[in-house]
Amino acid sequence: MDQILPKKFVLEVEEAQSIRQSLNLPSVLHLLPSLVQSAQSLARPPISNFFVGAVGLGSDGRVFIGVNLEFPGVPLHHSVHAEQFLLTNLAVHGCPRLLSLAVSDAPCGHCRQFLQELRDGSSLEILVTSHVGGNLDKGPSFKPLSEILPNPFGPHDLLGKEIPLLLEPHNNGFSLLPKNAVYVDENSSNLCNGECELSSGNEISGQLSNGNWEKNEKDGILLRKAAFEAANNAHAPYSGCPSGVALMDSEGKVYKGSYLESAAYNPSLGPVQAALVAYVAGGGGGYERILAAVLVELEEAKVKQEDTARLILKAVSPRCEFTAFYCRPAKNGPAKPNLVGGY
C-alpha cells in the first residue's frame, strides 16, 4: 500500500478513485479500511506505542487520514486521538462534511463524544477494522455512531439550530487591530518565552540559536495573520472564546490550526494541537523544526489558552519562539454566550 500511497494525509478525488479502481473495489467507501494499516504507520505515540489510524471519506470525494499523537512531558489530556486528527484534517482542508470513517480500534468514549460536534453526528458511519472478521470485500460493516453512543449529549442540547457546527463555515467576527495599535499583552512573557527559560545564552533577537533561520518582520506578520484567520474559523460556541495558532517551520512554511470545542468541554481540541495536526498533515517532519508560533485569542477570555499553549510548545519544540496576541470581537460579531459570574 505504501507504493500506491506515499505518506500523505489527503487523497484528492481522482487519486482516491484511481486507487480504488486499481484495487478492483466497488466504491471509495470500500477503500477506507484498506488504508487503515498504512495510516497507522504515520501515528506518533511515543508514550503508549499504540498506533491508531483512521481513514475518512469526505462529502467532496476526498479521503483523509487521521493518526494519534502523544507528547511526552505534558499531561495525557494533551494527546490527540486519530478521530480528532481526522476531523481537524478535514477542517484544515475545508471539507464540509465527513460521511464515513474506518479506524483500527473502537473509538473511545472521548472520541465518540468529540464526533458529536458534527452536524448529524449520530448518522456518521464507522467501521472498526479490528472488529471486522473475514473478507472485507463481502461488504464493509459500517455502523452509525448512534449505535455506539446512544442517547448522546451534544450540540443539540445546548445550541440553536442556526449555530454552525464542526466543519461548517465559521466567522467569529474578530477584527484585525489597527497596525499601529497592535495589542501585545505586557504581562505575558512575550519578552521571555519558552526559549528563555531553557537556554541560558539566548538573546531575544531575530537570530535563533540553531542558526538556520532568521525570523523577520514579514514572517511575523504572516504568522499573526494566519493565527488570526484560524481564530476566526474556530469552533467555540460554548465558551465564546475562539482561538487560533499558527506555526512556522525552518523553511518558513506556515501551518494553522483552530480551537475546536466540544459540548462536553473536556474533549475540546486545543489550538496548538490543531496546528500540530496541520503541521503533521502538511508533511512537517520532526517537531523540533517548528521555530515560531503565534496564538491569537480574546483579550479577556474566560477560557484562556495562552499559558497552556506555551507549556505544550516548550515540551514539543523547546526552541520555538512563542508569542500571544489578543483581539476583540467586532461590534457585530457573533453573540457571546451569557458567561455569568466567577467564583
Q: Does 191 bind other proteins (CB under 8 A)?
A: no
Q: Which of 83, 117, 297, 306 is catalytic?
A: 83
User: Kind of pairing, strands 290-298 and 254-258?
Assistant: unpaired
Cβ distance to other proteins smaller for residue 5 or 301: 301
Report yes or no: 234 and 275 within 8 Å, Cβ to Cβ: no
42 vs 263 by CB, closer to other proteins: 263
Residue (50 or 183) nearer to other proteins, CB: 50
Binding-site residue numbers are: 68-70, 81, 108, 111
C-beta of 153 vs 183, nearer to other proteins:
153
Q: Which stretch binds other proteins (CB under 8 A): 7-15, 145-153, 250-258, 316-324?
A: 145-153
Q: Exactly one of 47, 204, 330, 335 binds other proteins (CB under 8 A); which one? A: 47
Q: Given candidates 11, 40, 66, 70, which one binds other proteins under the rule CB under 8 A? A: 70
Q: Binding to other proteins (CB under 8 A): which residues in 98-127? A: 105-114, 116
For the chain, where are the alpha helices, taking DSSP H only? 13-22, 28-40, 82-92, 109-114, 145-148, 155-158, 194-198, 217-232, 271-281, 306-316
Residue 322: exposure state from Cβ atoms within 10 A (0-12, 13-18, ≥19): buried
CA distances from 45 to 37, 38, 194, 315 (A): 15, 15, 23, 15
Distance from the Cα of residue 72 to its chain's centroid: 18
d(CA 25, CA 20): 5
Contact between 197 and other proteins by CB under 8 A: the answer reads: yes
Give the Cα separation of 244 and 95 in Å (integer): 18
Q: Residue 131 interacts with other proteins (CB under 8 A)?
A: yes
Span interacting with other proteins, options 15-23, 166-174, 262-270, 327-335, rule CB under 8 A: 262-270
Span 298-317, contacts to other proteins by CB under 8 A = 302-305, 307-308, 311, 314
Sketch the per residue contact string, 212 through 251, with other proteins: x for CB under 8 A, - otherwise: --------------------------xx------------
Summarize the annotated binding site for Zn(2+) as residue ranges. Answer: 81, 108, 111
* Nearest alpha carbon to residue 111 among 91, 132, 82, 90: 82
Q: Counting beta carbons within 10 angstroms of the beta carbon of residue 202, is it exposed (0 to 12), middle (13 to 18) or buried (19 or more)?
A: middle
> 3-class SS at 258?
strand
Q: Which stretch binds other proteins (CB under 8 A): 12-20, 56-64, 71-79, 134-142?
A: 71-79
CA distance 184 to 21: 54
Give the SS3 label for residue 313. Answer: helix
Q: Is residue 33 close enough to count as binding other proteins by CB under 8 A?
A: no
Shorter beta-carbon distance to other proteins: residue 128 or 247? 128
Determine the Cα–Cα distance for residues 305 and 270; give it in Å rounded to an integer. Answer: 8
Query: What kind and span of H or E run contains 76?
Result: none
Subset of residues 320 to 339 that bind other proteins, contact rule: CB under 8 A = 338-339
Cβ distance to other proteins smaller for residue 56 or 240: 240
- Our answer to whether residue 288 is catalytic in this structure is no
What's phi and psi for 62, nearest 5 deg? -80, 155
- Interacting residues with other proteins (CB under 8 A): 47-48, 50, 70, 72-77, 79, 81, 105-114, 116, 128, 131, 147-153, 157-158, 197-198, 238-239, 261-268, 270, 302-305, 307-308, 311, 314, 338-343
Question: Looking at the annotation, which residues are catalytic?
Answer: 83
